[in-house]
Amino acid sequence: MSDELSLRIEELVAENERLLKDLGAYERERDRFRHAIADITGLYFLTGGHGETDENLLPEFIRICPAYGCAWEQVYVKTNKTVSYEGS
């Protein structure tokens, strides 16, 4: 009985780790979607980019509108700092 219980606990731990990983992916996709329909959600959204692009085709500058219908944009400069959601 103890071996069965240990096996079940290992299965539940593995399932929990998988679900937490999936939750992270879901949250990123949810945020992406919410910003893609800024006219409905009222969230900020990317309006364009300019300047030189790097090997990943990312521009040096991006323009962000703080809310749909706003008459101005903010320009952000690339910092070359990378944040990875993949495990190390």
20 located within any domain: yes
| Model confidence band, residue 87 (pLDDT cutoffs 50, 70, 90) | low
Q: Let me know: does 63 contact 73? Beta carbons within 8 Å.
A: yes
Domain range for 12: 2-77
| Model confidence band, residue 82 (pLDDT cutoffs 50, 70, 90) | confident
85 located within any domain: no
What is the count of structural domains for the chain? Answer: 1
Q: Let me know: does 62 contact 52? Beta carbons within 8 Å.
A: no
At 63, phi and psi to the nearest 5?
-110, 135
**pLDDT exceeds 80 at position 88:** no
pLDDT digits (tens, 9 = 90+) for 18-48: 999 999 889 989 988 998 999 899 899 999 9
Among 10-14, 38-42, 60-64, 82-86, whose mean pLDDT is lowest?
82-86
Q: What is the pLDDT of residue 1?
A: 64
21 located within any domain: yes
